[in-house]
Amino acid sequence: MKFPRTQMAALVAASALALSACSGGSPAAAPAADLTAEPDYNGSISVLTKFAGEPLEAYFEDVAAAYQKKHPGVSIELIQETDQSIKDKIRTLTASQALPDVYFTWAGNWQENYVNGGLAADLSELIAPETEWGSSFGEASLDAFAVDGKYYGIPLYSNGKFMGYNKAAFEKAAVDVPTNFDELISSCEPLRKAGYEPIAFGNKDGWPGLHYLGQLFAYNVPAEVLEADFDPQTASWQDPGYVTALEQYKRLVDSCTDTGAGSNGVLYTTAQEAFSGERAAMYYQEVLEFDSVAGEKKLDPEKFGIFALPAPADAAGDPAAIEGSPEGYMINARSPQAALAADFMKFATNTQNAQTLSATPYGQPSAVKGAVTEETSSKAVFEGIEKVNEASQLVIWLDTVTVPEVADAWLAGGEALTSGSSTPAEVIDSVRTASESAK
Amino acid sequence: MVSKGYFFAVIGRVFAWTFLLGLAVIVIYPLLWMLLNGFKTNSELFANPFALPQQFSWQNYVNAWNRGVSNYVTTSVLVTVTSTIATVFISAWAAYGLSRVKIPFSKFWTGFILGGLMLAPTVALVPLVKLMQALGLYNTFWALLILYTAFRIPFTTFLIRAYMIDLPFEIDEAAEMDGASRWKTFWHIILPMCTPILVSTVLLHVLFAWNEYIFAMVFTNGTGVEPLPVGLTSLMSKHGTDYPVVFAGMAIAAIPVLVLFFASQRYFVKGLSEGVGK
Amino acid sequence: MTLTHSAPPRRHPSGAPARRSGRPSPALFSRRLSPRGLLWLAPAVLILLSFVYWPLVQNFAFSMTEWDVYTGTQEFVGLENFSRLATDPVFQRSLLNNLLYAGLSLIFQVAGALLLAVVIESRRSERLRRALRAIYFVPSAISLTVAGLLFYFIYEPKLGMLNHLLEAVNLGALAQPWLGQESTAMLGIIMMSQWQGFGYSTLLFAVAIQRIPRELYEAAEIDGIGPVRQFFTITVPLVREMSGLMVIVTISGAFQVFNEVMVMTSGGPNNSTQVLGTWLYHNGFSRNDFGYAAAIATVIFVVTISIGLVQMWYTKRRRVQW
């Protein structure tokens, strides 16, 4: 784009004016929020959650109501968003310097941006493993939110991705739970003959495909290579395992889903419904989804089984890794009510609330030790969390662990691979290009 | 004997009729499908998209209403009503000043106000987020009220001004000689004479404010100030697989404006045909 | 649905009030230059200044910065964001999609709507004409959000109406994941918006056709001129003013597309349905690259303002002709 010189000069002058007038930028180093002070139980705090919609919505509403009952001087403003809407919303709030006192976070690059921007309060004094509050959590989930040895996150629940299957469908088609990737693929034909869509899949939002890819990368790419590629400074994305994994994904989409190359036009909720309505035999899902898939008026919990996505027989990576990560909350470093906010989160993660969260109808397995029990949680959630705890490592979601440019390239690439418009080699090329330009 | 010309005329008429009716079906059937889907159960919806619902129960409509649509409707009604009042009055004042008062630099001011017609809302989006935040209006009802007003003043002023210019100038002078002030002339004489165009602008603004999406999406965030269009998309993501409820919500959003349209068609047409010059 | 309340058709080239020939009394304030008259404009001017023009200026400034949303710092980078635009394939794709949008809308909403209006207006019964115009207008009264969601479900590969319809008439081979593949997604969105918008322009053309004196057609009839030639020799020239405006409005609208794309595909799959508006939104609000988003906004500004200037020139010329 070219401008004639005079216009250019005018433009620069105008912009200098506008800049000086409006960008009284705030300092990067935040004033240390006084977290250890005795909270003043007066005033209001805002909390941005990811629990909008039924049934989750009620959880924070109840916790907030109970807390306000205990401390009548406190009012809690809940901003509840969905998994899909929270990404854009939290970025808008960040950009306009209006983060709530407490806000949701994923682990990985997503969280580091907030820490490095001085937007997250250092909670080490409160929640490090040796502290009273910290000792109530599983240590791995605290570590997931640690940056440079400091603890920034309050882990709320753990999560992991599993293939859910319909036991009745498997019986009808006379297939066993597959033990490796090839067996999974070859189980699809008999399932289809038995009248089921083998695997329900909806990739309209792009991330459902990335969840397959993230798990397959963990299987096919050595762990230390993967870790280096997640860091924008050391990323090269050269390992041949990526292409192998992309090919495996394409095979799965083409031979095990009914929508195949058209899966980009299907919502993940439609796929979920196909599974819980017993039209599909399998559906790849997070532990968090278990209680919305199986239960009353849905799939009979007795028919609901889970297994980790089977690893390929000769995988070069870690076959015992599971994709998933705890999700949690951070406290705004600039919050004038930081101590009160921390106190509220302490309340939200007490044993009783943690058990409520882990039980139906919520089914969000709390990161608090002992909150997920066979008695209080559903069978599937309990089993899922057992498997998460047994995993050799947790691999964070591809779209939150990488920088936005690379996450975007993976999203677009995953969709292109699904529809067949790009080959695995082309996809990984576009990721490398994005990764280079993000350095 | 039938003549050849007559034969072709008949063919032509049959063809025209088929075409017009076919088009009407293409227009109406999707809307009918939407209404009917609002009555189905989820499994009916997934089983056969053409089948009629087994029974007509209002349950999905009730559910949609209780799951947030009542809030979205309240916000939408509030924003629509207030921004319509604000826009029409501010624009009528401006139109009066531009068309019937001898103001200094009148050409400049006309250009300044009507020039806003050429600006796309997306262009100002990023700075507006910052501005609304600085004013503490982000995620409030006020943000939408202000933006819906600001971005519609040029168009509304344009319509009213074009109408006012055509009113004979003697009216003002006669009123003045009778001792009426400017303010009185505006309220009691000019404004009532503009009723037809005012009705049209009100209708067009209602249509705009009820359906607006981009500002609503960016400037509200789900704490009871979302208007309908944004509320519908969050209804979709919040209630996962319960699509009949989403269809019911869509129908609830569509019906008020449709009713308004059929009740006041001729004003709509008037406003639209005047407004195409924008 | 005729125009019943038109004001007397007296237009003045300058837009200034008409001068009467009689000598007015100089004491009348309606004749004097009145600086206080600016108060009438004050509310409009203040609102436009703060919420329309000022953000516009700021947008130019932002488009030359790199903006770290986490720390809130902005750094001046000159024209770097614009040179990035030049090499951004998705930006080019967006621009092409906007052009495709404009092109198809011209075919359906200008040419098609004009033909349709002629066919409607040649029906004899006024009640029928009114009913047809109203029916075709219905989609324009529902919001693009509702229409977009509705067509998302119509195009859905599994429960969607369109594929089931094709199967029902034995054309199952043509069934597609309409919004799920790069080759058809943009087309699907554009066709939805034709469905939504054609009644609106048909209505406007119908109004323009009603203004053509009937005698012209009657005379042509007597001279033995057929309906096709009547269309080209009478209708087209006499609705030229309306068509010209429709062309401009349609193109300008095509560069501001946002709502339907956001609702139906959010720009996917594989960025194949990104348009300038959604690419702006994605870069600003999903990638935190507000400087780059502001640069895209500047492009939208340049395009729409150019179209606006063409329109001003067109309307001026038209007035002179009158």
Range of the domain at B14: 4-37
CA–CA dist A37, C303 (Å, integer): 56
User: CB under 8 Å to C33, separation ≥6 — which residues?
Assistant: B102, B103, B104
| Longest CA pairwise span in chain C (Å) | 82
Q: Touching check for C80 and chain A: CB below 8 Å?
A: no
Instruction: Copy the structure tokens of residue C138.
Output: 């219905």
pLDDT (tens digit per residue) in B45-77: 887 878 888 888 889 999 999 888 999 999 999
pLDDT (tens digit per residue) in A74-112: 999 898 888 877 887 888 788 777 789 999 999 988 999
CA distances from C322 to A393, C11, C211, C248 (A): 79, 9, 15, 20
Are residues B110 and B11 part of one domain?
no
Instruction: Copy the structure tokens of residue A210.
Output: 């990335």
CA distances from A38 to A34, A104, A125, C57 (A): 9, 24, 14, 47
pLDDT (tens digit per residue) in C266-320: 998 999 999 999 999 999 888 888 899 999 999 999 999 998 888 878 777 765 4
Which residue in A420, A430, A390 sits closest to A209, CA to CA? A420
Q: Can you say whether the dihedral through the CA atoms of A127, A131, A133, A137 is positive or negative?
A: positive
Are residues B14 and B104 part of one domain?
no
pLDDT at C22: 45
Percent of chain C with pLDDT over 70: 89
CA–CA dist C97, C185 (Å, integer): 11
Which ranges constitute the DSSP H helices of B123-277? 125-134, 141-150, 153-165, 170-177, 182-184, 191-193, 195-211, 214-219, 228-238, 243-263, 265-275
CB atoms < 10 A from the CB of C211, how many? 14
Task: Parse chain A into domains and list their residue ranges.
Answer: 43-159+325-371, 161-323+397-438
Q: Touching check for C117 and chain B: CB below 8 Å?
A: no
pLDDT at C3: 34
Q: Touching check for C86 and chain A: CB below 8 Å?
A: yes
Instruction: Copy the structure tokens of residue B244.
Output: 């009949």
Instruction: Copy the structure tokens of residue C281.
Output: 């939104």
Are residues B94 and B8 part of one domain?
no
pLDDT at C28: 65
| Chain A residues lying within 8 Å of C261, measured CB to CB | none
B271 pLDDT above the threshold of 80? no
Q: Touching check for A356 and chain C: CB below 8 Å?
A: no
CB contact (8 A) between residue A264 and residue C57:
no
Name which residue leads in pLDDT, A285 or A33. A285
* Residue of chain B whose alpha carbon sits nearest to that of A293: B241
| Chain A residues lying within 8 Å of B222, measured CB to CB | 52, 79-81, 85, 89
Q: Touching check for C61 and chain A: CB below 8 Å?
A: yes
Residue-wise DSSP of A151-207: E--EEEE---EEEEEEHHHHHHTT-PPPSSHHHHHHTHHHHHHTTSEEEE---TTSH
Fold of A43-159+325-371: D-Maltodextrin-Binding Protein; domain 2 (3.40.190)
Q: Touching check for C313 and chain B: CB below 8 Å?
A: no
Q: How confident is the model at residue A5 (pLDDT cuts 50, 70, 90)?
A: very low
pLDDT at A7: 41
CA distances from A418 to A182, A246, A424 (A): 19, 10, 10
pLDDT at B82: 97
CA distances from A196 to A175, A199, A257, A268 (A): 13, 9, 10, 18
Answer yes or no: are the C-beta atoms of C225 and C233 closer than 8 Å. Answer: yes
- For residue A418, which phi and psi values (nearest 5 degrees)? -60, -50
Q: Is residue B52 in a domain?
A: no
Q: How far is C18 from chain A (nearest CA, A)?
A: 38
Are residues B205 and B88 part of one domain?
yes
Q: Is residue B42 in a domain?
A: no
Q: Considering only B178-182, B253-257, C4-8, C64-68, which range has the smallest mean pLDDT?
A: C4-8
Q: Which long-range contacts (CB under 8 A, 24 or more apart) does B131-139 make?
A: B131/C50, B131/C51, B131/C54, B131/C55, B131/C58, B132/A96, B132/B219, B133/A96, B133/A97, B133/A98, B138/A96, B138/A98, B138/B219, B139/B219, B139/B220, B139/B221, B139/B223, B139/B225
Q: Is residue B45 in a domain?
A: no
Which residue in A320, A329, A323, A341 sits closest to A367, CA to CA? A329
Q: How far is A204 from chain C (nearest CA, A)?
A: 7
CA distances from C267 to A14, A113, A398 (A): 33, 25, 20
Q: Which CATH code for domain A161-323+397-438?
A: 3.40.190.10
| Chain B residues lying within 8 Å of A53, measured CB to CB | 237-240
Answer yes or no: are the C-beta atoms of A414 and A420 closer than 8 Å. Answer: no
Answer yes or no: are the C-beta atoms of A27 and A82 closer than 8 Å. Answer: no
Judge residue B171's burial from the number of C-beta atoms within 10 Å of its C-beta, 0-12 exposed, 13-18 middle, 19 or more buried.
middle
- Domain A43-159+325-371 and domain A161-323+397-438 have a common topology: yes
CB-closest option in A1, A95, A264 to C177: A264
User: CB under 8 Å to A360, separation ≥6 — which residues?
Assistant: A291, A295, A377, A378
CB contact (8 A) between residue B237 and residue A277:
no
Mutate to test the interface with A, among B71, B221, B232, B242 (most CBs of A within 10 A): B221
CATH number of the domain to which B193 belongs = 1.10.3720.10
CA–CA dist C46, C146 (Å, integer): 34
Percent of chain C with pLDDT over 90: 52
CA–CA dist A192, A175 (Å, integer): 11
Are residues B145 and B16 part of one domain?
no
Dihedral Cα B203, C242, C276, C93, nearest 10 deg: 140
Are residues B230 and B98 part of one domain?
yes
| Chain C residues lying within 8 Å of A14, measured CB to CB | 57, 60-61
CB-closest option in B133, B240, B241 to A97: B133
Q: How far is A299 from chain C (nearest CA, A)?
A: 20
Mutate to test the interface with B, among A44, A46, A89 (most CBs of B within 10 A): A89
Order of strands, edge to edge, in the sheet holding A43-49? A74-80, A43-49, A102-105, A327-331, A154-157
- Mean pLDDT, rounded, for C159-184: 88
Dihedral Cα C310, C312, C313, C317, nearest 10 deg: 140
SS3 per residue for B146-181? HHHHHCCHHHHHHHHHHHHHCCCCHHHHHHHHCCCC
Name which residue leads in pLDDT, C32 or C95. C95
Are residues B152 and B76 part of one domain?
yes
pLDDT at A55: 83
Residue-wise DSSP of A251-291: HHHHHH-SSGGGGGGS-HHHHHHHHHTTSEEEEEEEGGGHH
Are residues B72 and B23 part of one domain?
no
Are residues B181 and B79 part of one domain?
yes
CA–CA dist A157, B153 (Å, integer): 50
CA–CA dist B209, B231 (Å, integer): 14
Q: Which amino acid is at A404?
A: P
pLDDT (tens digit per residue) in A325-359: 899 999 999 888 899 999 999 999 999 999 999 99
Are residues B147 and B211 part of one domain?
yes
CA–CA dist B2, B235 (Å, integer): 61
Neighbours of chain B (3+ CB pairs under 8 A): A, C
Mutate to test the interface with C, among B29, B107, B126 (most CBs of C within 10 A): B126
Q: Touching check for C38 and chain B: CB below 8 Å?
A: yes
Structural domains present in chain C = 95-321 (1.10.3720.10)
CA–CA dist B105, B125 (Å, integer): 30
Are residues B193 and B95 part of one domain?
yes
pLDDT (tens digit per residue) in B85-133: 999 999 999 999 999 888 899 899 999 998 888 888 989 988 998 898 8
CA–CA dist A230, A232 (Å, integer): 6
* Residue of chain A whose alpha carbon sits nearest to that of B135: A96
CB contact (8 A) between residue C44 and residue B157:
yes
Q: Touching check for C40 and chain B: CB below 8 Å?
A: yes
Are residues B128 and B25 part of one domain?
no
User: CB under 8 Å to C125, separation ≥6 — which residues?
Assistant: none
User: CB under 8 Å to C203, separation ≥6 — which residues?
Assistant: B269, B272, B273, C117, C133, C136, C137
User: CB under 8 Å to C39, separation ≥6 — which residues?
Assistant: B97
ipTM, two decimals, is 0.90
Say how many domains are in chain B: 2
CB contact (8 A) between residue B223 and residue A277:
no
Name which residue leads in pLDDT, B195 or A24. B195
